[in-house]
Amino acid sequence: MPCTMKRTPRTAALAGVAVVALTLTACGSSSKKASTPSGSATGGATSSGASASGGGGGGSTTTAAFNAGVGKVFNPSTAKGGTLRMAHSGDFDSLDPADTYYGYSWNFIRNYGRTLVVFKSAPGAAGAQLVPDLAETLGVPSDGNKTWTYKIRKGVKFEDGTVITSKDVKYAVERSLDKTVFPDGPTYFNDNLDLQGYTSPYKDTDPNKLGLKAIDTPDDNTIVFHLKAGFSGFDYFAQLPQTIPVPQAKDTGTKYKEHVISSGPYMFASNDLGKKFVLKRNPYYDAATDPDSGRLALPDQISVELNVNAADIDNRLLSGDLDVQIEGTGLGAEAQGKVLSDPKLKANSDSAAIARTWFTVVNSDVAPLNNIDCRKAVQYAADKVGYQRSYGGATGGDIATSLLPPLIPGARKIDLYEAAAMPGGDVAKAKAALTACGQPNGFSTNISYRVERPKEKAVAEELQQSLAKVGIKLTIKPYPQGDYFKLYAGKPDFAKSNGLGLMVYGWGADWPDGYGFLEQIVDSRTIRAAGNTNLGIKLPEVDALLDKAFATTDITAREKIWGDIDQKVMESGEVLPGIWAKGLDYRPPNLTNVFVNDGFGEYDYTTLGTTKT
């Protein structure tokens, strides 16, 4: 993740559809872009139709094998019962649907809340498809995509038996607008709804606290959203947890997270904040009202322990004392080694590709790297196998030949520096490039990395060794990751005056899409005095391509542009690609219906079952 592993904001532009120029939060930085929805693609959200059944899509298997849970369902079952035991090495940002912005949280929240539309629980590409959940169909646009209408399903009830109405959804969206109460959630509704000055239901003079004019509820089953400007991808907003209905009478503001009123298959049985919470079945959940989402709701209970030591979680997973590590970040280094060296354990693990690239920025501000040939020398000389080893070898990811991960639509094979042919580095070509640069004997520069990250340290040491073969001498400079962007690598003045020629880095999009991945790291116009996530890639042609992409409504054409940007960045030599990341997930043998949801890069939390009772 861009800044810290903890803060994992979901980037915008979901599923490669017309969600462009959305707000993109980057680790609490203030770079929130005013939203100017552009484009009017109509093919964005194709409904799978109400007939689509849950689960399947990529086949299934019952034989335990490495990657058995990738692209297909492992161990399918319809047996109900048991307790699904999950654990978290930290804590949720919030359990409140208005206030959460983590991918795993959005994955999990579907167990106790129903949004208007939802990503289908299915393996493979089907997981990126939007299907209606609380609504009967996907949104119906009118008025040039400025007005979106949803019909709420009849007979869906809260955990107390009250029927869910469109007003509950409206109230939920209203309260999510109040960023003083709920600072963590995304701001898409704030930015795109025609608010007319509305700020918060807690300051609302309307007796029912439903004063927001941007949302109409003509009857209990209809909800109409009015946007500031036409936007074809509104269904992607309608899947945000912020549309999970909240009964106004039960809203307790910041304390609502202690007991969220459930609209999904499970409700809170107990909630000991910061320690543990348990979900039990919601007696008023009727699967007949939920035909499209693919939820299976097999276990009778789901328990989530919080603030458990990360290594402890791994050990308990391996010993069968735990079922799921809820953050979905994969096993730690030690457990990973243990699993990989034991064929039996390895058969119970999945290597899931993530939309993330670990790379090193080659800083064109620092002489002699301002010369493109010197940058090319670095590209050729770097030992890509060593880079991969630093991240744990093949299980850590594949050797990257360009910046854009292959998972992202529009990524194409770009290999300008022989990363595939000579992964160990090409000394001859590197020396030729050095001569062209006017530094035939090499030069000296510095490499920075985040001190808390042993893998980045390994990269710095590895590059120091491999670049030394052509005479490029690197001095290694670790900096604390908390200030890596504010004070060091992300501060252009500092990087330049301290001669940080190479900066070890990595970036991930939480949802696979070119915009979400690229915008914050290659758009030169986002570069500020400090706190940058773009560590110095300043290419006018890339900026122009980004603008072109924002204005392009045709999906295929736009996706091609992401590849073009990738090409341009690689041609400039300003990014030394390392690896396209993968995470190693362990699935204890007692789990059923296991598959990696491609959208989250994690196991799907609404279909898991357990044979342990």
Partner 1 sequence: MTVPLEVVGSQGEAQPEAVLEGGHAIEGRSLGQIAWMRLKRDKIALSGGVVVLLLIVMAIFAPLIVKWLGHPPNEFHYDQVNPDTQVPIGSHGGISRHFLFGVEPVNGRDLFSRIMYGSQISLLIAFLATLLSVGIGTMMGVVAGYFGGWIDTLISRVMDVFLAFPILLFALALAGVIPDKAFGLKGDSLRIAVIIFIIGFFNWPYIGRIIRGQTLSLREREFVDAARSLGARSPYILSRELLPNLVAPILVYSTLLIPTNILFEAALSYLGVGVRPPRATWGGMISDATNWYQTDPEFLVPSGLAIFITVLAFNLLGDGLRDALDPRSR
Binding site for partner 1 (CB under 8 A): 311, 333-335, 337-338, 340-341, 385-386, 389-390, 392-395, 451-452, 454, 457-458, 460-462, 464-465, 475-478, 480, 498
In angstroms, give the least distance from the CB of 305 to partner 1.
Answer: 21
Residue 479, CB half-sphere, CA atoms under 13 Å: how many? 23
Q: Is 601 helix (H, G, I), strand (E, B) or coil?
A: coil
For partner 1, give the closer residue by CB, 64 or 385: 385
For partner 1, give the closer residue by CB, 230 or 393: 393
For partner 1, give the closer residue by CB, 457 or 528: 457
Dist. CA 424–CA 213, nearest whole Å: 61
Cα angle for residues 323, 327, 332 (degrees, 5° grid): 80
For partner 1, give the closer residue by CB, 111 or 390: 390
Cβ–Cβ under 8 Å, residues 326 and 104: yes
Report the DSSP beta bridge partners of residue 150: 223
In angstroms, give the least distance from the CB of 499 to partner 1.
Answer: 9
Kind of pairing between the strands at 324-325 and 575-586: unpaired
In angstroms, give the least distance from the CB of 425 to partner 1.
Answer: 12
Dist. CA 403–CA 569, nearest whole Å: 8
For partner 1, give the closer residue by CB, 53 or 465: 465
For partner 1, give the closer residue by CB, 59 or 480: 480
In angstroms, give the least distance from the CB of 332 to partner 1.
Answer: 9
For partner 1, give the closer residue by CB, 86 or 458: 458
DSSP calls for 10-69: PPSSGGGSS--S-----TT-S-PPPP------SSSS----TTPPSS-SS-EE-S--TTTT
* Residues in contact with 36: Cβ distance below 8 Å, sequence separation at least 6, in sequence order: 21, 229
* Residues in contact with 547: Cβ distance below 8 Å, sequence separation at least 6, in sequence order: none
For partner 1, give the closer residue by CB, 90 or 337: 337
| Helix (H), strand (E), coil (C) string for 364-392 | CCCCCCCCHHHHHHHHHHCCHHHHHHHCC
Task: Kindly provide the b/e burial profile for residues 258-294, where b requires at least 16 CB atoms within 10 angstroms of the residue's own CB.
Answer: ebbbbbbbbbbeebeeeebbbbbbbebbeeebbbbbb
For partner 1, give the closer residue by CB, 68 or 339: 339
For partner 1, give the closer residue by CB, 181 or 530: 530
In angstroms, give the least distance from the CB of 65 to partner 1.
Answer: 17
Cβ–Cβ under 8 Å, residues 58 and 576: no
In angstroms, give the least distance from the CB of 310 to partner 1.
Answer: 12
In angstroms, give the least distance from the CB of 395 to partner 1.
Answer: 7
In angstroms, give the least distance from the CB of 496 to partner 1.
Answer: 14
For partner 1, give the closer residue by CB, 357 or 388: 388
Cβ–Cβ under 8 Å, residues 227 and 234: yes
Dist. CA 138–CA 479, nearest whole Å: 48
In angstroms, give the least distance from the CB of 393 to partner 1.
Answer: 5
In angstroms, give the least distance from the CB of 386 to partner 1.
Answer: 7
For partner 1, give the closer residue by CB, 300 or 452: 452
Q: What are phi and psi of 383, to 5 degrees?
A: -90, 105
Q: Which residue has the tokens 């209809």?
A: 222
Sign of CA dihedral 250, 256, 258, 262: positive
In angstroms, give the least distance from the CB of 523 to partner 1.
Answer: 31
Task: Taking each helix axis as running N to C, give the angle between helix 372-381 and helix 427-437, from 0 to 180 degrees, rounded to the nearest 10.
Answer: 170
Structure tokens at 229: 């400007």
Dist. CA 332–CA 325, nearest whole Å: 11
In angstroms, give the least distance from the CB of 52 to partner 1.
Answer: 39
Cβ–Cβ under 8 Å, residues 611 and 592: yes
